[in-house]
Amino acid sequence: MAVDSAAGTLRFEEMLGWTGPGTGIVDRTVRLTPATDVRLVERAATLDPERWPNACQEHRIGLDALRPGDFVTVTTGGDDTAVALEVMRPER
């Protein structure tokens, strides 16, 4: 995954259905705008009986906080412009 701030793009690998050798992963590029909503999604720090067990919490982050290894769900509009990014990090 790589953010090109000058071009206003995010390049990443998307996992597709596996149909044989050489398939399953494709390179994608989406445009980013100042309106793109970027959020880090994490497990809630505390258990709250009012919430779903193992609930998640999210908070806004900047594009500069993205790093290799992050899992990103990209929501686009009618074109290749990212409306929202939901970022999850592998637990260490």
pLDDT reported for residue 16: 86
Q: What is the pLDDT of residue 34?
A: 93
Say what the pLDDT of residue 75 is: 95
From residue 28, alpha-carbon distances to 20, 50, 60, 61, 70 in Å are 20, 39, 23, 22, 15
**pLDDT value for 92:** 64
Q: Are 76 and 84 in contact (CB under 8 A)?
A: no
Q: Residue 43's domain spans which residues?
A: 2-88
Model confidence, pTM: 0.79
pLDDT block averages, 10 residues each, the chain of length 92: 92 87 88 95 76 78 90 92 94 69
Q: How many domains does the chain have?
A: 1
